[in-house]
Amino acid sequence: MQNKWLARLQIFIGSILLIDALALFSVAKFNVGTVFPAILGLGLLSFNLKHASWQRWLAAKRYRQRLWPWFKWAMALWLISLLAFFYQLAVPDRIKHPPSSLIVLGSGLDGTQPSPMLRARLDTTLIYAAQYPKAQIVVSGGQGFSEEISEADAMQRYLLAHGIAPQRILQEDQSTSTEENLLFSYRLLKAKAAEPVLIITNDFHALRASKIAKKQGFPLVDLASAPTPLAIRYNAWLREYFAFASSWLLGEL
């Protein structure tokens, strides 16, 4: 017989996951960070509300009974790996080398204005730009299909409006991915010998960006993490977990 408290806990967690996914679906946030919690939430609710049916289904085939414990172990190991990944994302920044340059990675626009996540990156850039007043700043991001201007152009406008001197800013406006952000920005900085480098992105993106930068040959690089808005933070972290795993499997890291 199923433990009642465990069943209630699973129903509670499943309900929270489903409500969270539905709330984000309502603002058109369709990605693995919202779809996966919806599937997991529905699975937990189905398993507990239809527990007797599940038990009959498992008992109907011997191989299902044998595979079920392995499935539970696999889910436990996956959860441990997810929590370990989240822990890595939550570790505070450690700036080991005073930077000669800052690279700000693009993250989408609302018309001609930075999206909330990009604005968080730019606000973090302003903090480090003040802390390291001689550092060159590279704003990196091309123009997407639905964007009116390049991300780099919008980022430069934002920084200029907040008091950054124009001669400090370099535009990299051709990139369409994190790999290109870093590669094209590094080419700009290499010509100026502007190292060490501080890469600025959102907290969920920092770990993968650091791995890509090291693979591309950045000799001295640190990461600065801009906070992701709380309403979407853990969905973004979950989506990044799968993106990181995919990049690792494809040999991109």
pLDDT tens-digit series, residues 27-79: 656 667 678 888 888 888 888 878 788 888 888 888 888 898 898 899 889 88
SS (HEC) of 1-48: CCCHHHHHHHHHHHHHHHHHHHHHHCCCCCCHHHHHHHHHHHHHHHHH
What is the rounded distance in angstroms from the CA atom of residue 15 to the CA atom of residue 26? 16
pLDDT tens-digit series, residues 87-104: 988 887 878 888 989 999
Question: How would residue 191 be classed by pLDDT, with cut points 50, 70 and 90?
Answer: low
Point out which residues pair with 137 in neighbouring strands: 102, 169
Where does 101-249 sit in CATH, by number? 3.40.50.620
Question: How would residue 143 be classed by pLDDT, with cut points 50, 70 and 90?
Answer: confident
Helical ranges in 30-145 per DSSP H: 32-49, 51-60, 62-90, 116-131
% of the chain with per-residue pLDDT over 90: 30
Residue 137 and residue 170 in contact, taking contact as beta carbons nearer than 8 Å:
yes
Neighbouring CB atoms inside 10 A of 1's CB total 6
**Is residue 186 scored above 90 in pLDDT?**
no
Enumerate residues 6+ apart whose C-beta is below 8 A from 181. 103, 105, 106, 140, 141, 172, 175
Residue 229 and residue 193 in contact, taking contact as beta carbons nearer than 8 Å:
no
**Pairing mode of beta strands 109-110, 113-114:** antiparallel
Q: Give the pLDDT of residue 155.
A: 95
State both tokens at 19: 């409500």
Point out which residues pair with 109 in neighbouring strands: 114
What is the rounded distance in angstroms from the CA atom of residue 146 to the CA atom of residue 226? 24
What is the rounded distance in angstroms from the CA atom of residue 125 to the CA atom of residue 39? 37
Which residue spans of the chain are classified as CATH 3.40.50.620?
Answer: 101-249
Region 190-208 average pLDDT: 82
